[in-house]
Amino acid sequence: MTRLTRWSAAELAARIHAQDITAVEVIRAHLDRIAAVDPALHAFLHLDAPAALAAAAAVDDGLRRGDPPASPLAGVPLALKDVFTTVDMPTTCGSRILQGWRPPYDATVTRRLRAAGVVIVGKTNMDEFAMGSSTENSAYGPTRNPWALDRVPGGSGGGSAAAVAAFEVPLAIGTDTGGSIRQPSAVTGTVGVKPTYGGVSRYGLVAFSSSLDQGGPVARTVLDAALLHEVIGGYDPLDSTSIDAPVPPVVEAARAGATGDLTGLRVGVVSQFRGDGYQPGVLRAFEVAVSRLRELGAEIVEVSCPSFDHALPAYYLIAPSECSSNLARFDGMRYGLRVGDDGSRSAEEVMSLTREAGFGPEVKRRIMLGTYALSAGYYDAYYGQAQKVRTLIIRDFATAFDQVDVLVSPTTPTTAFRIGERVDDPLAMYLSDLCTIPANLAGNAALSVPAGLSDDDGLPVGLQVMAPALADDRAYRVAAAYEAARDGADGGPLAQRVPDLEVAVR
Amino acid sequence: MPTISRDEVAHLARLARLAVTEEELDLFANQLEVILTSVARVGEVAAADIPPTSHAVGLTDVFRADVTRPGLTQQQALSGAYATEDGRFRVPRILDES
Amino acid sequence: MTAALMDYDEVLERFEPVLGLEVHVELSTATKMFCGCANLFGTPPNTQVCPTCLGLPGALPVLNGVAVESAMRIGLALNCAIAPWCRFARKNYFYPDMPKNFQTSQYDEPIAVNGSLAVQLADGSMFTVEIERAHMEEDTGKSLHVGGADGRIHGASHSLLDYNRAGVPLIEVVTKPIEGAGARAPEIARAYVTALRDLLRALNVSDVRMDQGSMRCDANVSLMPRGSSTFGTRTETKNVNSLRSVERAVRYEMRRQGAVLASGGQIVQETRHFDEATASTSAGRRKETSEDYRYFPEPDLVPIAPSDDWVQRLRATLPELPWQRRARAKTEWGLSDLELRDLVNAGALDLIAATVDAGAPAAEARSWWVSYLSQQANSRGVELADLPITPAQVARVIALVDEGALTNNLARQVVDGVLAKEGEPDEVVAAHGLAVVSDDAALTAAVEQALAAAPDIADKIRGGKLAAAGAIVGAVMKATGGQANAQRVRELVLALVSA
């Protein structure tokens, strides 16, 4: 019998709603799985089994009463990146400075999940305040990649991606500022989506870089991601940057895409995203993926986006600048850690000691970088210039999307690197974001869908699909078509080929 | 090629209220210099006439009605506080008049 | 320790004072600038807060549309150009009364720029103050310093923070450097703040109570040596809590700076604190480095781009502006320039206009405000506008007098009752039974009684000395506590005598 934890969210929901199985059974099975493998994986920072079981029971009760399910995902378990506020669980953002903090309010995403009957089982590990590409910057220790326990699961949302890849949950929520959903998905063999900026509310999403942050779904299939996207997406009057328009029809697009016909679709391969620094196995896997798209009827063309070469430096000016301001509120005065208040010190001193003790090195680096870039005399050369590069990137995307319907690239230049390999070299770490950053700067939709394993180390590779702003459905359609074709060729979904963790742990 | 001195790092740390240690000053000075050299490339984009973008989303005029909405109770507001007194947040002595 | 002060006249001989006035106005909107918390004064601490104004992690701002309109109306009333496109910016610095450790404000893209306000001085002359800008920002929380001397920061052991006020909408109005004020600089500063206050009151956008902090003034003063064209170093004086303090603070700073410069010293660019009791300023704590606010556009808010249409619609909502009112008062009420000046100086013009709008004849409205009510204001030590009586109430009293229900004497008693917070004019009348007695039966009885007590007077009247009736009228007035309708009494006296 296939274990419940191997099913997709869509399958689980269908059976729960048909009352073939109970939501409580489903949650129990996943809690058991988490108990078995999370000690090795460390994807979760907090679990709330009683609350999860109670929420599941409530779903079952409703169904028994004859109520229609609250959403197509009611009763399905989910892991929430620990950057979203939850009233019934701590929200630490992977930082010592918020250790144990219980927010007095739920994020809009949290509220929507609860209202949809989705069962939040726990909060997942992340790079501190979403800054990083490996989850090694978490104050609570790294998360490990289920495909190889000595490797990183990517970051900043490594916990969410690992939890889904390891069958601890079929669904997770991440946030993507420079690639923090897509890159972990690429290196863990899962589907990760960054919706169009403004498509998912940021109210209750602890801000790292306000003009770039976006919450999004993580799943093992494109359809599951689409179903979750429709639950969390949509206008929120509490978020001024929220788009006042219906969620793009991503579920419909995922279903339509699964028929596998991409005839007439124009696909652009970004010429800047190859060459030095790209692992050969990754590039080969990418080429195979592109051929598959061609086989499905797509027309493949090469597209050049020259400004993308400046995307990384622009990002590493804009994001730290915004974060230096966003993180100023963490000073020990109103919530969180307070250090050094012995009655003799001033508020200024206590703030400085608290922040020194509470923030990790990457966070401090970025705060200082951002402070520098915004300071008098440097603003024009750094932050000001970066905002101009942003304009150029938006223009390059616009020009590209005049020629093609979607753009594709490898999601990240390498497969999962070893834990500890890049921690002392910030610049090397930043290179993980090369391909993902442009879509954050321009605000358009982008996702990563598993594209097989690299032939040089057997680790997962991701295919990035980018669509114009508000055309998230287009990316889902292409990803779904690709996924169906890939699974057909491989004899089954990649996700199911992850090494059996319980065996490894034993 | 930007060079960032230890003193500058100390100044940044002060502005950002970070009580960095002596070792950190050296380490961060090196790392920041490397990063700054890399990001300074944005200056190469010959772009005097290019307008900056602060928002990818082209929205304007987002307002709300001047109508009250339930907020937090005093207890909720103070719930995360390290120290409170008489319904207020208690903080160490403040040096500067703002 | 008091600083040395130069003789005021000597200051003017040697220097040109240059002023800059920054006025912060708390808007009287129902809710805060960026969240739906109530904008109320004087409630228990931290009971009007939410994740947004408390700066909790994850919270986001959403702009109050009425606050934006108020900002635009203020700009229009000050003859400013309204920016066709503007943004908010973050002003970054650490201070416990600012929950986010940045203030959401406007930096180089304010909503209104380049206006002016014509200010009338005591002698009737006009002085135009140029306005640099008006912009939107949010107020901070309130700190209580515990353990030091009278709640000041010096010597405090700790502080207590209340964030009810954090996020309340503020409009900051900044003047361009005010030059050419000369010896009248203190007076002009006061007159400007007064005129601005009256304007804001007319717009109904704020309570503008300096004593409650809904209007705050920072006075920037510098001295430029005569013959030079380079501005001197300026100081900024805060904690100026009344109109009188504005004038005194400016005067003091001019004299203090004059003394410093004369002795060869240099003015330190600093923030100073005004002390009401001694009418002097003192230095705040010296800062090592000047603050670098690292302004950048606020990414959580989107730009504001008011259409011409919207701006014109708002322009149409502006009430009669002070100079328009002055012009109308002269033509419609037939006032001379001197009379107008006196009214403006007394702060009475708007009150009179409002009383006229409530239905009273101009002459009587003026008479009440300028005589009896001014006396009352003086004896209580308050401004006319702060008397606890409204123009509508004054208009009602005037109406009662005009219809004969009150004599002027009784009317003053009614006004006293309203000032004593006993209620509306009609309520005071009823409570004290102050109405003029016009009931013929009652009056006849009183007249007969008075005549009976003074038979010789009746004879005199019959003999043709009609003036003698006055004595009977007087007696009846005394007997009725002044509430008899004197005219009717006289008629009755004459009728009864000849009957």
Q: Do C95 and B61 touch (CB under 8 A)?
A: no
A 10 A CB-CB count for A122 gives 27
Task: Render pLDDT for A97-113 as a digit per residue (tens, 0 to 9).
Answer: 999 999 999 999 999 99
* Among the ranges given (B84-88, C46-50, C338-342), the one the predictor scored with the smallest mean pLDDT: C338-342
In the predicted model, what is the mean pLDDT of residues B22-26? 92
Q: Which listed residue (A8, A133, A134, A156) is catalytic? A: A156
Hey, are the CB atoms on C57 and A334 less than 8 Å from each other? no
With contacts defined as CB-CB under 8 Å, which chain A residues touch B36? 369, 372
Partners for C (CB, 8 Å, 3+ pairs)? A, B
Task: Give me the residue label for tokens 């197509």.
Answer: A72
pLDDT 10s digits, A59-90? 999 999 999 999 999 999 999 999 999 999 99
Contact B94 C156 (CB under 8 A): yes
Name the least confident of A275-279, A409-413, A435-439, C323-327: C323-327
Average pLDDT over residues C161-182: 97
- Chain A with chain C: Cβ pairs closer than 8 A: 100
pLDDT higher than 90, residue C88: yes
Closest CA to C170 of C144, C206, C209: C206
Nearest Cα to Cα of residue A140 among A85, A100, A185, A188? A100
Asked if residues C346 and C374 have their Cβ atoms less than 8 Å apart, the reply is yes
SS (H, E, C) chain C: CCCCCCCHHHHHHHEEEEEEEEEEEECCCCECCCCCCECCCCCCCCCCECCCCCCCCCCCCCEEHHHHHHHHHHHHHCCCEECCCECCEEEECCCCCCCCCEEEECCCCCCEEEEEEEEECCCCCEEEEEEEEEEEEECCCEEEEECCHHHCCCCCCEEEEECCCCCCEEEEEEECCECCCHHHHHHHHHHHHHHHHHHHHHHCCCCCCCCCCCEEEEEEEEEEECCCCCCCCCEEEEEECCHHHHHHHHHHHHHHHHHHHHCCCCCCCCEEEEECCCCEEEECCCCCCCCCCCCEECCCCCCECCCHHHHHHHHHCCCCCHHHHHHHHHHHHCCCHHHHHHHHHCCCHHHHHHHHHCCCCHHHHHHHHHHHHHHHHHHHCCCHHHCCCCHHHHHHHHHHHHCCCCCHHHHHHHHHHHHCCCCCHHHHHHHHCCCCECCHHHHHHHHHHHHHHCHHHHHHHHCCCHHHHHHHHHHHHHHCCCCECHHHHHHHHHHHHHC
Q: How far is CA A249 from CA A225, A230, C161, in A?
A: 12, 8, 48
Structure tokens at A297: 């009827």
The closest CB to that of A356, out of B19, B34, B39, belongs to B19
Q: Are C112 and C75 in contact (CB under 8 A)?
A: yes
CB contact under 8 A, C50 and B88: no
| Rounded average pLDDT over C6-28 | 96
Residues 6+ apart with CB under 8 A from C265: none
Is residue C433 classed exposed, middle or buried when 0-12, 13-18 and 19+ CB atoms within 10 A define those classes? exposed
Catalytic residue among A81, A209, A307, A432: A81
Around C333, how many Cα atoms within 13 Å sit in the side-chain half-sphere?
25
Q: Which of C50, C68, C297 has the CB atom closest to B72's CB atom?
A: C50
Q: At A473, give phi and psi (nearest 5°).
A: -60, -30
Give pLDDT tens digits for A285-340: 999 999 999 999 999 999 999 999 999 999 999 999 999 999 999 999 999 999 99
Q: Do A372 and B32 touch (CB under 8 A)?
A: yes
Closest-CA residue to C94 (of C129, C140, C56): C140
pLDDT tens readout for residues B73-94: 999 999 999 999 999 999 999 9
Residues from chain B that touch A442, judged by Cβ atoms under 8 A, are 56
Q: Would an 8 Å CB–CB cutoff place C99 in contact with chain A?
A: yes
- What is the pLDDT confidence band of residue A452, given thresholds at 50, 70 and 90? very high
Q: Which residue of C62, C101, C139, C160 to mutate against B (max B Cβ within 10 Å)?
A: C160
Helix or strand run (H / E) with residue A406:
strand A406-410
Report the alpha-carbon distance of residue A179 to residue A137 in Å, rounded: 16
Closest-CA residue of chain B to A238: B64
The order of strands in the sheet holding C126-138 is C81-82, C112-120, C126-138, C169-175, C15-26, C215-225, C235-240, C271-275, C280-283
3 state DSSP class of A462: strand
Tell me whether strands C215-225 and C169-175 are parallel, antiparallel or unpaired. unpaired
Query: How far is the C-alpha of A439 from the C-alpha of A445, rounded, in Å?
Result: 7
Q: In this predicted model, what pLDDT tens digit does every residue of C215-257 receive, in sequence order?
A: 999 999 999 999 998 999 999 999 898 999 999 999 999 999 9
When pLDDT is averaged across residues A204-212 and rounded to a whole number, the result is 97
User: Min CA distance, A106 vs chain B (Å)?
Assistant: 12
Alpha helical stretches, state H, A86-194: 108-115, 158-165, 182-188
Q: Which residues of chain A are within 8 Å of residue B79 when distances are taken between CB atoms? A: 102, 104, 335
Whether the CB of C94 is below 8 Å from some CB of chain A: the reply is: yes
Q: Residue holding tokens 């009430």?
A: C319
User: Encoding tokens for residue A47?
Assistant: 């679990």
Chains with 3 or more CB pairs under 8 A to chain B? A, C
Q: Measure in Å the smallest separation between the Cα of B1 and chain A Cα atoms.
A: 12
Better-scored residue on pLDDT, A296 or C2:
A296
CB-CB under 8 Å, C159 with B91: yes
**Helical axes C486-498 vs C440-453, angle rounded to 10°:** 60
Helices (H), A180-279: 182-188, 222-232, 250-257
Using the Cβ of B60 and the Cβ atoms of chain A, whether some distance falls under 8 Å is answered with no
Mean pLDDT of the region C43-67: 98
Active site residue A156: yes
Q: What is the pLDDT of residue A1?
A: 39
Q: Which two tokens stand for residue C84?
A: 């066709």
Instruction: Give the ipTM.
Output: 0.96
| Distance (Å) from the alpha carbon of C28 to chain B's nearest alpha carbon | 11
Helix axes A222-232, A472-490, angle to 10 degrees: 160
Please tell me the distance from the alpha carbon of residue A157 to that of residue A172, in angstroms, as a whole number: 10
Q: Quick check: A209 and A129 in contact, CB under 8 A?
A: no
Tell me how far apart the alpha carbons of residues C105 and C91 are, in angstroms, rounded to a whole number: 7
CA distance linking residue B25 with residue A399, whole number of Å = 44
Tell me the pLDDT tens digit for each residue of A118-133: 999 999 999 999 999 9
Asked if B65 is an interface residue toward chain A (Cβ–Cβ < 8 A), one would say: no
Residue C57 · residue A103 · CB < 8 Å: yes
Backbone angles phi, psi at C162, to 5 degrees: -120, 120
CA-based nearest residue to A99, from A364, A333, A367, A359: A359
pLDDT digits (tens, 9 = 90+) for A135-187: 999 999 999 999 999 999 999 999 999 999 999 999 999 999 999 999 999 99
Residue C410 to residue C397: CA distance in whole angstroms: 10
A48 in helix, strand or coil? coil
C296 touches chain A (CB under 8 A): yes
Of all residues in chain A, the percent with pLDDT exceeding 90 is: 91
How large is the average pLDDT for residues A429-445? 95
Can you tell me the distance from the alpha carbon of C432 to that of B90, in angstroms, rounded to the nearest whole number? 53
Residue A184: φ, ψ to 5°: -60, -40
Average predicted confidence (pLDDT) for chain C: 91
What pLDDT is recorded for position A142? 98
| Chain A residues in contact with chain C using a Cβ-Cβ cutoff of 8 Å | 84-85, 91, 93, 98, 101, 103-105, 107, 202-207, 209-211, 237-241, 321-322, 324-325, 328-331, 333-335, 343, 347-348, 351, 371, 374-376, 379, 383
Counting as contact any 3 or more CB pairs under 8 A, the partners of A are: B, C
pLDDT in the model for residue C217 = 96
Instruction: Tell me which chain A residues have a C-beta less than 8 angstroms from the C-beta of C94.
Output: 328, 331, 348, 351
- Tell if the CB–CB gap between B93 and C159 is shorter than 8 Å: yes
Residue A481: pLDDT above 60?
Answer: yes
Highest mean pLDDT among B34-38, C241-245, C379-383: C241-245
Chain B contact probe: residue of C29, C34, C95, C161 with most B CBs at under 10 A = C161
- If one compares C142 and C452, the residue with the highest pLDDT of the two is C142
User: Which of A206, A325, A383 minimises the CB distance to C57?
Assistant: A206
Is position A388 annotated as part of the catalytic site? no
Find the catalytic residue in A8, A180, A185, A321: A180
pTM of the model: 0.88
More confident residue, C31 or C475: C31
Q: How confident is the model at residue C288 (pLDDT cuts 50, 70, 90)?
A: low
Tokens of A396: 């390059």
Size of interface A-B (CB pairs under 8 A): 180
Told to judge if A180 belongs to the known catalytic residues of this protein, a careful annotator would answer yes
Locate tokens 């930043």: which residue?
A430
Residues C111-151 have pLDDT tens digits of 999 999 999 888 888 999 999 999 999 999 999 999 887 77
